[in-house]
Amino acid sequence: MIGNSTLEWAQQTFSYAKLGDSRRTQRLVQLVSDVASHVGASIVQACPNPASVEGAYRLIRNPDVEASAIAEAGFAATTNEAEAYDLLLALEDSTALTYTHKSLSNELGHVNSGNRTRGMLAHSVLLFAPREQKVVGLIEQQRWTRDISTRGRGNKCVKRPYEEKETFKWQQASTAMSERLGKLQARVISVCDRESDVYEYLQYKLTSQQRFVVRSTYSRCIEESGYKLHDYAKELSSAGQRTIQIAQRGGRKARKATLDVRFAPITIKVPANKCGKSLSLYYVGCKEQSDSNEKLEWHLLTSEPVTTTAQAQEIISYYEQRRLVEEFHKAWKSDGTDVEALQLQSKDNLERVAVIQAFKAIRLLQLRADSRKQENSSCESVLPGICWKLLWVKQENKPLPSTAPDLKWARITLAKLGGWYDSKRTGRPGWAALWRGWYKLAAIQEGYLMAQSFISGEM
């Protein structure tokens, strides 16, 4: 089968799942292996025979199988992997899984202010090793549905206790991650977007001695010279420049941006409506130097000491990696596992499959990241045996080479098989084309093996 052994990966990830019966765990491992081997296929299409389909749905519909138990097995596998790295970034973000079919409308909550769409919310924490450029795995994920009667309550959130607000999820995620990692937590730096700029969360991270980089939303009051944070940043001296690549997104074109870098130690005052003490942090800011009306600008708060330009550049590089958790959500929701296309008859069934697909999306993210990092190495690490030869014969109008081509060729050619055309001249195919190509090649391989069996008389 295409790629590294999906069965081996499924065993490493889920073989210790505590589902109340070892047979359920075995069924889970087999189900995960089947769906991971057939990217883009439904559960029915991925299972090799009717008995496997029946067993898969018995597991999915079993009320004694908790989605949280499936997830905990995957988190434990990530914890084991994390031991190999001295520095880890915990990349965090939230997303909504939306569904339109009516069978679940009474069990799912609102995901937008217009109340036209029902769904489930999820907050994911992805571990990434920046020095090795390695996606380690998913270490935490919360999934929840909103009470439909609370729609619009966000405007009154100031009057509610911190623990009852949705933003409390950031602290809950950090607590759960810390409990799993234990001593390894000291190696972890949480990297969070603007939604996490909450005084209580920053205070919790400092009190718990947890490292972090948080993008600032608010120009908070600080003790330095009576300024507010963003005004104070304008007065800081430039500490050099940094060039970053901004990816194409929606109607935005891909481009390079040159940023002016500034940094300083700061002390955030206690907000007037909060209880606590001032927070001593470091500030790193960067602003695009251009005539564009939409200049990129980041105000970053961190617990990491920043006293040199090199340290400031490093903090910015950590925040740049937050795009990976966005890529994970994209792979999970649509282009990779298409979890939003699931049509199951209950929220619990949906959540069980969503968890399985979340870890499948992690595997896809790892495979793509590894292929980019090692694109000059042989493609046989991803397309072993006859696989790359079948792809070559299908797509190339020339004789087979004596040795396997590189991973860059495999990535581009798979995407072309999936219908990709490099119209934007970026050389970077998206998720959808890659996995369509992967699935088509799997079908070609299956047809080839069946023909070989027929010719040899085994059928």
pLDDT 10s digits, 431-440? 667 777 877 8
* Tokens encoding 110: 């609102």
How far is residue 57's CA from residue 61's CA, in Å, rounded to a whole number?
Answer: 6
Greater confidence, 441 or 371?
441
Q: How confident is the model at residue 371 (pLDDT cuts 50, 70, 90)?
A: low
Average pLDDT on 146-156 reads: 67
- Give residue-wise pLDDT tens across range 107-122: 888 887 555 678 999 9
Mean pLDDT is lowest, of 153-157, 291-295, 394-398, for: 153-157
Q: Decide: 319 and 215 in contact? Cβ < 8 Å.
A: yes
Mean pLDDT is lowest, of 18-32, 201-215, 265-279, 280-294, for: 280-294
pLDDT value at 221 more than 60:
yes
Q: In the chain, which residues fall in CATH 1.10.740.10?
A: 377-455
What backbone torsions phi and psi does residue 142 show, to the nearest 5 degrees? -105, 140
Average pLDDT on 389-397 reads: 91
Query: For position 149, what pLDDT does the model report?
Result: 72
Query: Cα 286–287–292 angle (5° rounding)?
Result: 160
Query: Cα 403–406–412 angle (5° rounding)?
Result: 130
How far is residue 380's CA from residue 61's CA, in Å, rounded to a whole number?
Answer: 38
What is the topology classification, in CATH, of domain 377-455?
Answer: Transferase Inhibitor Protein From Tn5; Chain A, domain2 (1.10.740)
Query: Cα 96–6–356 angle (5° rounding)?
Result: 25
Q: How confident is the model at residue 60 (pLDDT cuts 50, 70, 90)?
A: very high
Greater confidence, 340 or 373?
340
Q: Domain spanning 85-331: which CATH class is it, in words?
A: alpha beta
Query: For position 169, what pLDDT does the model report?
Result: 96
How far is residue 212's CA from residue 171's CA, in Å, rounded to a whole number?
Answer: 12
How far is residue 51's CA from residue 427's CA, in Å, rounded to a whole number?
Answer: 43
Greater confidence, 24 or 276?
24
* Tokens encoding 111: 């995901």
Query: For position 374, what pLDDT does the model report?
Result: 67
Buried b (16+ CB within 10 A) or exposed e, 109-121: bbbeeeeeebbbb
- Give residue-wise pLDDT tens across range 275-315: 889 999 999 999 988 776 778 899 999 999 999 999 999 99
Which residues 6+ apart lie within 8 Å of 238 measured at CB? 260, 261, 262
Which residues 6+ apart lie within 8 Å of 63 measured at CB? 348
CA 168: distance to chain centroid? Answer: 20
- How does DSSP assign 288-328, residue by residue? E-SS-SS--EEEEEESS---SHHHHHHHHHHHHTTHHHHHH
Share above pLDDT 90 across residues of the chain, in percent, rounded to a whole number: 55
Identity at 86, one-letter amino acid code: D
Query: For position 3, what pLDDT does the model report?
Result: 44
Q: Decide: 222 and 292 in contact? Cβ < 8 Å.
A: no
- Give residue-wise pLDDT tens across range 26-59: 999 999 988 887 766 778 888 889 999 999 999 9
**Please, what is the average pLDDT of the chain?**
87
93 SS3 class: strand
Question: Which of 296-310, 338-352, 379-393 has maximum average pLDDT?
Answer: 296-310
How far is residue 70's CA from residue 358's CA, in Å, rounded to a whole number?
Answer: 11
Q: How confident is the model at residue 407 (pLDDT cuts 50, 70, 90)?
A: confident
How far is residue 166's CA from residue 233's CA, in Å, rounded to a whole number?
Answer: 30
Mean pLDDT is lowest, of 215-224, 230-239, 261-270, 441-450, for: 441-450
Q: In the chain, which residues fall in CATH 3.90.350.10?
A: 85-331
Which residues 6+ apart lie within 8 Å of 306 measured at CB? 263, 265, 282, 283, 284, 312, 315
Q: How confident is the model at residue 459 (pLDDT cuts 50, 70, 90)?
A: low
Average pLDDT on 388-415 reads: 89
Q: How confident is the model at residue 180 (pLDDT cuts 50, 70, 90)?
A: very high
pLDDT value at 187 more than 90:
yes
Identity at 15, one-letter amino acid code: S
Q: Decide: 316 and 286 in contact? Cβ < 8 Å.
A: yes
Which residues 6+ apart lie within 8 Å of 319 measured at CB? 191, 213, 215, 298, 300
- Give residue-wise pLDDT tens across range 62-113: 999 999 999 999 999 999 999 999 999 999 999 999 887 776 767 888 887 5
Query: For position 5, what pLDDT does the model report?
Result: 64
